Amino acid sequence: MASMATIPSKIASKPPLLEELESTNTILKYPDAVFVYDPDFDKVVVSKQVKDLPVGTSNGFELCSSGRSSKRRRLDSGIELDLKKSKQLISMRDRRAKSCYPLGLRGLNNLGSTCFMNSVLQALLHVPPLRNYFLSDRHNRDQCKKRSGEKLCLLCDIDAISSAMFSGDRTPYSPAQFLYSWWQHSSNSASYEEQDAHEFFISVLDGIHEKDSKVRNPSKGDGDCQCIAHRAFSGLLRSDVTCTTCGFTSTTYDPCVDISLNLDTRNLSAADLANKPVKSDENMDVSTLSGCLNLFTRAERLGSDQKLHCQNCQELRDSTKQLSIKRLPLVLCLHIKRFEHSLVRKMSRKIDRYLQFPFSLDMTPYLSSSIIRSRFGNRIFTFEYDNSDSSAQYEISAVIAHSGMLESGHYVTYLRLKNQWYKCDDAWISEVDEGIVRASQCYMLFYVQKTLYHKANEDLSCVRISPRRDPFVSTGCC
């Protein structure tokens, strides 16, 4: 049931179809309105009608004066619900339906092909570091305007959206001011055309970094940046290029805020397919997240046109390259490459391939420490590369899915709050089963370190707002 549907301001007569639906809550859509039928609410209405009946009637039927036990249906146009009381009942029903939703769930209006923006904002504002950062008033809009004198501030507009979403108001919010500010930040994207959600995500983090880092650490690089974007999403990749002639290895490190993964095109085993909730005729179009991560960290031989200068041989040599993860972020964002662009063929296409992904993810096999041990055994000092086991354990927090074609698709976000999944489809919020999430064409996956995830989900219904709280420590109940 889509609990966020709108209830009309006046009560319509119950259609005949509702007689068959009295045991369940069902949404009925008509051309001009959306009616939500609820058995408990219907009983309240019927009870009110019975109380208002004149003396001499019983259960809506008029008793015959002759004393006979037969009854005939009585249509009394004079019996009407008090409009003021009926509106109160509707309001109570509406609040009750939404009261079970965690604080912060609020739809975002589509401002014209802006589902890409809405989906990313829903995911960003519900990851614990950013959620706690804005709710703890770490970026004060009034102070920011006085300090900088700037009329447009991307961080201020995100803070305004966060305040609106966690205000308790359930009516859809229009992030028009944020959209305008983002257009100023990324002028090449200023249009009402559909944009790529991943590119928008990178652009927003860049805007947050640009603003927040000026105040916190203007002289430091991205690797040591303490802005909220890098504190939450920044990790470190290790790249090892090995000469195939002498074995000399050159190592470099690159900061990253997400990891882009190619879909693993190898077919699953029969055991994997048995545990996958898809139809049997879709088995040939299945990838796994573990397969994608293995492909990302697998050593690859560079082509003859990519020969690198070996420092040991002092000449160009064939080599292999292998990526691994040196440092994991608090929030791990995995981008699935579903869109292919060929410069040779001058065409683009979407890869409609199902991806099987876990809700609990262990990133230990993809760490540099694990990769180095598998390559050299125990001949290396283990403490140089060891990472905490707990920091490699993740729980899924949000999934951004893309449906449709490349030119005319649609983005939605699935949020996991207190082990319940919610679908954020622009202005509409609804509970969904995890099977719906698993069957979606996921485009971006957001994983939160397990310890942080469980702390943040202890009680989402109460969020303490304190300007002195550390945004990386979960807030408790008021």
Q: Which residues are catalytic?
A: 115, 410
Token pair for 7: 């209830």
Buried b (16+ CB within 10 A) or exposed e, 203-238: bbbebbbebbbeeeeeeeeeeebebbbbbbbbbebb
Contacts of residue 427, defined as CB under 8 A and 6 or more positions apart, other chains included, come to 107, 108, 109, 110, 172
Q: What are the helix and strand counts (H, E) for the chain?
A: 14, 23
Place of tokens 């219904």: 461
Q: Count of CB atoms within 10 A of residue 25's CB?
A: 15
| Strands 347-350 and 249-256, sheet pairing | unpaired
CB 401 within 8 A of CB 459: no
Pairing type for strands 331-336 and 259-261 reads parallel
Centroid of chain to Cα 369: 30
Half-sphere exposure of 58 (CA within 13 A, CB side): 6
Concatenating the DSSP letter of every residue in 200-269 gives HHHHHHHHHHHHHHHHH-TTS-GGG--SHHHHHH-EEEEEEEEETTT--EEEEEEEES-EEEPPP-SPPP
